[in-house]
Amino acid sequence: MTGNFIDILEHEYHSREDIVNMLSAEGDERRLLFRKSAEVRDSYVGKKVYYRGLIEFSNICSKNCYYCGIRKGNRNLERYNLSDDEIIAAARFAWENNYASLALQSGEIEGDAFTLRVENLLKKIMEMTEGQLGITISLGEQTEDVYRRWMEAGARRYLLRIEASDPDLYSKLHPIDGHHVFQRRVECLKTLQRLGYQTGTGVMIGLPWQTIDNLASDIEFMRDMDIDMCGMGPYIEHADTPLISRKDSLMPLMERFDLSLKMIAVLRIVMKDINIAAATALQAIDPMGREKGVMVGANVVMPNITPGKYRDSYKLYENKPCTDDSAEDCKGCLEARLGVANADIGYGEWGDSLHYKRRMHEGQSELK
Ligand code: SAH
Ligand code: SF4
């Protein structure tokens, strides 16, 4: 049996059945899976872990995803919006501490004022850092024109999780009100790629109704879409959301955690040269969660550098870790933790997705 499993790990192309087998690994097979994914990480993207300083600049959102604590319909939390100066100061912190990369995230807002605000912020950050900070944004679904403007203003990478790649499951997790259309999300990802963004997506793991087969299709979706980056982690229920009604059907948190590690490991084996982030939600379940993610194949960590007083209000899910800490505390803490995971930190390096570089290079040679 184990012999078979070793063969599966070595396949050049992994079938649906291979992926299901890997996701179902237990005991010795699980150990082999994790050993293989760590090996693949080391040989394809190296031992370094890259930081993206994460600024969650506003929890105001126009959408109503059933799983999310900052959904529009939740009246049980205080809404905040960082000032431009606060955002710039956080960006300066990232730059001065040699993080080399920044990620700006917020609830989803579409409209001219929001577009312009982000555009100006990107320009200011680029100016302040002389273009030396690699900027990722994660601001939801927008039009092609908006994505283009933000790219021209300095953004280089975009994270837009598909959340669940099965349209049926997707429709159970979102209201059917014209603002949560699966196909639009897919089109947005394609637009981002066409515009030349390093494009990232991801899913939640351990969702109600979700099966191992769904998760295997998620991996296939990411491969078919030829994505450059992935950020995925466990689904963690939030009391003030509609999905809390499915609480009793969920697998225990530790199982969701373990399945998330397996998803990272399998994705690393299937898409060897992409960047994979160890999601903060892993840490909400296990204090060493992100480090464990790194051990099984992730190579990006996103330390939270949102000013401490706002962190408590960006609660996508319950138990969100470190909401009382300052950015300075996080830095020291993470360094020590990643040392335990036997990974070096790529300070001062952008840590671009090698997959992206290869994809762009191939695109150019095809044009010649
Ligand atoms: N509004 C943007 C970005 C902020 S939300 C967007 O939706 O794209 C960032 C991510 O938080 C989402 O993509 C989702 O995958 C994750 N998230 C939301 N609620 C969650 C929950 N209850 N458990 C785990 N992750 C959650
Ligand atoms: Fe808004 Fe994103 Fe939460 Fe959906 S997941 S409610 S878009 S912040």
Q: Has residue 366 got a pLDDT over 60?
A: no
86 contact partners, CB below 8 Å, separation of at least 6:
57, 307
Q: How many whole angstroms separate alpha carbon 234 and alpha carbon 204?
A: 5
Q: What is the mean pLDDT of residues 197-226?
A: 98
Bridge partners of residue 201, in order along the sequence: 230
Q: Note the CATH number of domain 2-367.
A: 3.20.20.70
Tens digit of each residue's pLDDT (9 = 90 or more) over 127-161: 999 998 999 999 999 999 999 999 999 999 999 99
Look at the chain and count its residues.
368
Q: What is the mean pLDDT of residues 214-242?
A: 98
The gap from C-alpha 61 to its chain's centroid, in whole angstroms, comes to: 18
Task: From 320, 290, 299, 310, select the one nearest 89 (Cα to Cα).
Answer: 310
Task: From 182, 176, 238, 171, select the one nearest 209 (Cα to Cα).
Answer: 171
Ligand 2 atom 3: the closest Cα is on which residue? 68
Closest atom of ligand 1 relative to the 234 alpha carbon = 24
Q: Which ligand does the CA of 142 lie closest to?
A: 1
Judged on CB neighbours under 10 Å (0-12, 13-18, 19+), 157 is buried
Decide: 268 in ligand 1 pocket, CB within 6 A: no
CB 190 within 8 A of CB 150: no
Predicted pLDDT of residue 238: 97
Return mean pLDDT, the chain.
Answer: 92
Tens digit of each residue's pLDDT (9 = 90 or more) over 290-299: 999 999 999 9
Q: How many whole angstroms separate alpha carbon 285 and alpha carbon 293?
A: 12
Predicted pLDDT of residue 307: 87
Decide: 280 in ligand 1 pocket, CB within 6 A: no
What are the domain boundaries of the chain? 2-367
Phi, psi values for residue 137, rounded to 5°: -125, 155
CB 321 within 8 A of CB 72: no
Terminal-residue alpha carbon distance, the chain:
48
Residue 251 is classified by DSSP as P
Q: Is the whole model's pTM more than 0.85, yes or no? A: yes
Decide: 107 in ligand 1 pocket, CB within 6 A: yes
- pLDDT category of residue 339 using cuts at 50, 70 and 90: low
CB 133 within 8 A of CB 91: yes
Predicted pLDDT of residue 329: 61
Closest atom of ligand 2 relative to the 64 alpha carbon = 6
Q: Which ligand does the CA of 317 lie closest to?
A: 1
Q: What is the mean pLDDT of residues 196-209?
A: 98
Q: Which of 57, 60, 65 to mutate to test ligand 2, by most ligand atoms within 8 A of the CB atom?
A: 65
